[in-house]
Structure 1
Amino acid sequence: MTDAIEETARTTTTNLNYLLLGPDINRRFVSRGVEVNTGTYGPYPTVIRDGRTIRSHFSFDRHGFQLLDAPTSIVDFHNKTEVEAHYQAEVAKHVKKSFGADFVHSQGWMLRTSGNIPKKKTTDQDGKPYRHYGGLQPSAGEVHIDTEPSRQLAYAKKLYAQSRPDGPGFKRFIMSSFWRTFSPPPQDCPLAVCDARSVRDDEGVPNVLWVVDRIPEGEEMFREMDDDGQLAAAIFRHNPEHRWWYFSGMERDEALLFKFHDSDSSVGWRVPHSAFWDESFPETKKVRESIECRTIAFFEN
């Protein structure tokens, strides 16, 4: 599965949080500035390889991810008006070119930080309930994929019909994340991605997403809810065969593009990922600020 060149990569060891045995109901509640899982996670010592010096080695079909040169026109990623007006179209162009797709549908964006998040009211300034879109959230600190395989074809068909009502249809789709860090390197809490070739098709447990104004507590988190009607992520138990990578010192004109779900499962079709605390640069590391944009790339008939 591995190539000799991969053994030349620098490594660092950290803890990644994998799902442990626990409640049968797995849910992820998100609200402004906070995200809580009902599942129990535990740290596993894990080797992370630094792909910086061999970045041209990685491919979407084999590994499921690539580090791209992706210049951006955005001056201030904290300016929501500027980002909303320009960034999703910019990302769609990069994704379309990278995958060779016919059409790309953007699904919104989110800022994340490893630093402190200012406390705000649970509703937006216009009084509307919290939307999990365009805000500032903490870095995601457990091994997961933002999509659960069994729900994705129906979701892709729905989005395609909405965005391309007169389109010819599609034969393949790729859901992905376009991840950019815009704070100076080296970042203290970068993103690690798992080589798709090291992930078995039968791995992963559904984790149902609930966007709420207030995070429930105690038994309220496990009450009867229509989980089947919600979007869900996949969360993972520890597998020593998982092979992890990151790219140290990412600059703002680079982006990590990785697959959530490729309907063509004959290639590397999904990439578990997690933030981690990188101790490689203890004297110079800086708070990580990043922006992620989710897209679906369609290959039409």
Structure 2
Amino acid sequence: MVTLATDDIEQTARQAPALIRYLDEGAFVTRRYVSQGAEINTGDYRDYPAVVRDGMPIRDHFSLDTHGFLIASHETAIADFHDKAAVDAGYQREVEALVAKLTGADKVATQGWMIRTSGDLTARAQEKVEGYVHSGGIQPPAGEAHVDYNVLTGERIAARVYGQAFPDGPGYKRYVCFSLWRTFSPGPQDWPLAVCDGRTVSDAETASNTLFVVDQFPEGDALTAPVEGEDQMTAATIFRHRPEHRWWYFSNMAKDDVLLFKFQDSDHSVTWRCPHTAFHDTSFPDAKIRESIEVRGVAFFE
């Protein structure tokens, strides 16, 4: 963790009050269960008052290897992000080309997409599902400070994606697991995405959060019952509160604004991860329901 200068351009940013949800102190079985239209975590969480700085007026200040995130402009050919066939047909190829341009990566491969909305998903969550797949659907905004992969998960995903997408490739020296995120609802959004300067976090406040994709949520003790080999399963990194964490967002994002941030960079000499979460932005009285689309992928440097 670093101490950032207090007299730089970042100190001029407007600040929005926020509550950021963190894992509480203590030992817990930490798991994330996801199903259609709903997601739940085990463990105890608490909302901490925080400020989220508005980076939009200084948007060109941010860089991927310094902060762990950046904002860029990109005109998409997708007219309607609720048109699943159109998104499947073209959007991931757009993202791959854009991320290659923004990062200088030799190759980029994406892993699917997800729409998130702050609108009411109660009816959707109550629908019975069988064989739920956590991609290409509609989910609520993320509810806590997290990075989608822990180190083991990122390493495995990078190796698998490269092998599948580039079986004849020479191999890679560096990988960056990323998310490319954009809103497509009018601004200002009521639950925008906040991203944390990766220089202000450390391993000391982290825990792994195992992912379980389910058709129906377990109940009671079944939520935390022992699972053999859980330490080898796909897992995110979640965070406990530290006052040093520096949070940012970009207010009034338009459809042509995209936010690129790191889940994991194999090069730890630069900022290699970016905690993130949605927060309720009360600084705009006319905020509107947020709809966004995110694409996960991996950029490879050969």
Are 1:40 and 2:44 counterparts? yes
Indicate the residue corresponding to 1:151 in structure 2: 153
Deviates most, 175-184 or 223-232:
223-232
Aligned to 1:61, the other structure's residue is in SS state helix
Q: Could you give the per-residue CA deviations for residues 164-210 of structure 1, whole angstroms, max 9, x where no partner exists?
A: 11100000000011010000000000000001111124441000000
Shift of 1:121: 2.8
Equivalent residues of 2:197, 2:247 under 8 A apart: yes
What is the letter of the counterpart of residue 250 of structure 1?
Answer: M
User: Hey, what's the Cα distance between the residues in 1 that align with 2:128 and 2:273?
Assistant: 33
Shift of 1:150: 3.0
User: Hey, what's the Cα distance between the residues in 2 that align with 1:22 and 1:132?
Assistant: 29
What is the letter of the counterpart of residue 122 of structure 1?
Answer: K
Percent identical among aligned pairs is 54
Equivalent residues of 1:177, 1:292 under 8 A apart: yes
Equivalent residues of 1:18, 1:238 under 8 A apart: yes
Indicate the residue corresponding to 2:180 in structure 1: 178
Equivalent residues of 1:44, 1:238 under 8 A apart: yes
Shift of 1:70: 1.3
User: Hey, what's the Cα distance between the residues in 1 that align with 2:119 and 2:157?
Assistant: 34
Equivalent residues of 2:205, 2:241 under 8 A apart: no
Equivalent residues of 2:28, 2:44 under 8 A apart: no
**Alpha carbons of 1:202 and 1:21: their partners in 2 closer, same or farther (altered >3 Å)?**
closer
Indicate the residue corresponding to 2:298 in structure 1: 296
Indicate the residue corresponding to 1:122 in structure 2: 128
* 5+ long unaligned stretches in structure 2: none
Which of 117, 124, 131 does residue 113 from structure 1 map onto? 117
Equivalent residues of 1:122, 1:129 under 8 A apart: no
Shift of 1:154: 2.9
Equivalent residues of 1:22, 1:39 under 8 A apart: no
Equivalent residues of 1:66, 1:258 under 8 A apart: yes
Aligned-residue Cα RMSD (Å) equals 1.3
Are 1:163 and 2:165 counterparts? yes
Name the TM-score, length of structure 1 as normaliser. Answer: 0.95
User: Hey, what's the Cα distance between the residues in 2 that align with 1:19 and 1:25?
Assistant: 11
What is the letter of the counterpart of residue 67 of structure 2?
Answer: H
Name the TM-score, length of structure 2 as normaliser. Answer: 0.95
Indicate the residue corresponding to 2:221 in structure 1: 219
Shift of 1:24: 2.5
Equivalent residues of 1:170, 1:298 under 8 A apart: yes
Shift of 1:94: 0.8
Indicate the residue corresponding to 2:273 in structure 1: 270
Q: Map of 1:1-301 to 2, 5 A cutoff? A: 1-2=4-5, 4-21=8-25, 24-117=28-121, 118-119=123-124, 121-123=127-129, 129-226=131-228, 227-282=230-285, 284-300=286-302
Shift of 1:139: 0.5
Equivalent residues of 1:23, 1:38 under 8 A apart: no
Aligned to 1:197, the other structure's residue is in SS state helix
Q: Could you give the per-residue CA deviations for residues 35-90 of structure 1, whole angstroms, max 9, x where no partner exists?
A: 01012110100011000110011111111111110111111111111111111111
User: Hey, what's the Cα distance between the residues in 2 that align with 1:188 and 1:152?
Assistant: 31
User: Hey, what's the Cα distance between the residues in 2 that align with 1:152 and 1:203?
Assistant: 19
Q: Could you give the per-residue CA deviations for residues 228-280 of structure 1, whole angstroms, max 9, x where no partner exists?
A: 34210000000110001000000011111001100001111100001000011
Equivalent residues of 1:31, 1:122 under 8 A apart: no
What is the letter of the counterpart of residue 217 of structure 2?
Answer: I
Aligned to 1:169, the other structure's residue is in SS state coil
User: Hey, what's the Cα distance between the residues in 1 that align with 2:145 and 2:301?
Assistant: 29
* 5+ long unaligned stretches in structure 1: none
What is the letter of the counterpart of residue 163 of structure 1?
Answer: A
What is the letter of the counterpart of residue 258 of structure 1?
Answer: F
User: Hey, what's the Cα distance between the residues in 2 that align with 1:268 and 1:243?
Assistant: 14
Count matched residues: 295
Q: Structure 1 runs of 4+ off > 6 angstroms?
A: none
